[in-house]
Each structure stands twice: as C-alpha cells, then as structure tokens.
Amino acid sequence: MTVPLIDVTDVHFRYGERDVLNGITLIGSERRIGVVGRNGSGKSTLARVMAGLVAPNRGEVRIAGCQVLQDRKTAISTVGILFQNPDHQIIFPTVGEEIGFGLRQLGQSKSEAQTQTRAMLASFGREAWLDRPVSALSQGQRHLVCLMAVLAMQPKVIILDEPFAGLDIPTIRTLEGYLSRLDQTLVHITHYPTKLEGFERVIWIDGGVILRDGRPQEVLPVFLSAMERDDAGADL
C-alpha cells in the first residue's frame, strides 16, 4: 500500500480553554494544497502541528511516513515551514550561518555545510550574501533567506503560512516565481484565494474543523461567498 505524503489524522489542539483544532483529518499526496479560512480559524496552528513544532492534544501527524513530533531529526529534512514573519524564523546574524545551521543539525561537517550553503546561494544568484548581515536585508529578502534555509534541507513538503503578508507587489511576484518552480509539495495557507488558482486541492477551515475539501473551483466560490456575507453583515 502506498504511504500518503501527508497524513494528518483526527488532530485536536486546545489552547487554554479554547479548542483550536477539532478532529482535523487531511490525507493526500497532491503537489499543491491550499488552506483558507478567516482569522482565528486554526490555519496557523495546523501549520505548526504539521511541521512538528507543537504537539496536538490528540491525533497523529505523519509526513512521508515520518512521525514529525517523535522523530525530529528526520522531520527537519522531511517538512519545512515558512512563517508569515521571517524575523520569527531567523536566529543567526548572517545569511550563511542561517542557511548552514540546519545542515549542521543533520550531521554535516562545518565545511560540508558551507559548501552546501554556497551552492544554495548560487542557485538563487545570491553568492554575495554569504557573510551579509540579515539585519541589512529587506523583509522580502529575509523571506528569501528563510526559503533557502528550508530548501537546503531538501524537504519533501514545505508549509507556507501567509508568506506574502506585508510584502509589496514586486516582492510577492518574485517569491511566487521561486515557489512556482519548486518540485516539493506545497501546503499554502493564505488569506488570498487568488493565489490558489491552479492548485490541485483546497481546504477551508473554520472553527477548527474542515468545512470544505476539494478542487479550487469547488471550494473557493463558496468560501468567498461566505466571506462576502460576513462583510455585509459587519457593515449593518
């Protein structure tokens, strides 16, 4: 039997007195999966659970057969995540150190990690960034550093948690170009449904449960209609 690339089974997550995820099950191997929902619907919590960054109160997450919470060394080379704010992700002062850190975690020597880091920078035409301070980069450039750090780990799945928030249009288009060329499976969490056109699957989450799950043309019109009704009601 073929193991699904993504296997999220009956996941529950409680924060304080609030149930954030209520029995989420998401199983599949599609190459492009979108996740939509209003603020507070549980999207970002699902992203962190899938990446193994937080433990669900109940349920299990496997990515490419790896139990992401229990097997962290395998998990970091199986699933990567890009946060909405790159400053919540970057921990080292220079670009080279940031990209090389994960490679060292995988057991590479310092010289091996530096060679891989240089190769990753070269593949994006950013060789000059090796010793550049991260603080000297724009927000969009820091997003790119995070993407390169994730790609250096060669994960099978990359989770994007609102990666375009706060960016200007030219920067968004540049990052979209990079992402569109990736071979990895992308799980894209977004407030912008137009970014999911051409995806194979879209999940609509509300109140910690999946309301709709299907192709974009099946899910997005219903989602947008619901959001428009909410907006109309808010104006009354």
**Residues 143-158 pLDDT 10s:** 899 999 999 999 999 9
Can you tell me the mean pLDDT for 55-63?
95
Q: With beta carbons less than 8 A apart as the criterion, state whether 117 and 163 touch.
A: no
Confidence band (pLDDT; 50, 70, 90) for 234? low
**Residues 179-195 pLDDT 10s:** 888 899 999 998 888 88
- Three-state DSSP class for residue 21: strand
pLDDT at 132 over 90: yes
Residue ranges covered by each domain of the chain: 1-78+157-236, 91-154
Does domain 1-78+157-236 sit in CATH 1.10.3720.10?
Answer: no
**What percent of the chain lies above the pLDDT cut of 90?**
67
Cβ-based neighbours of 8, under 8 Å, separated by 6 or more? 24, 25, 26, 27, 46, 49, 50, 59, 60, 61
- Of 75, 47, 7, 78, the closest CA to residue 163 belongs to 47
Can you tell me the mean pLDDT for 82-108?
92
Can you tell me the mean pLDDT for 163-187?
86
- Of 216, 80, 90, 102, the closest CA to residue 159 belongs to 80
What is the predicted pLDDT for the residue at 236?
44
CB atoms closer than 10 angstroms to residue 128: 9
What is the predicted pLDDT for the residue at 233?
52
Cβ-based neighbours of 219, under 8 Å, separated by 6 or more? 36, 202, 203, 204, 212, 213
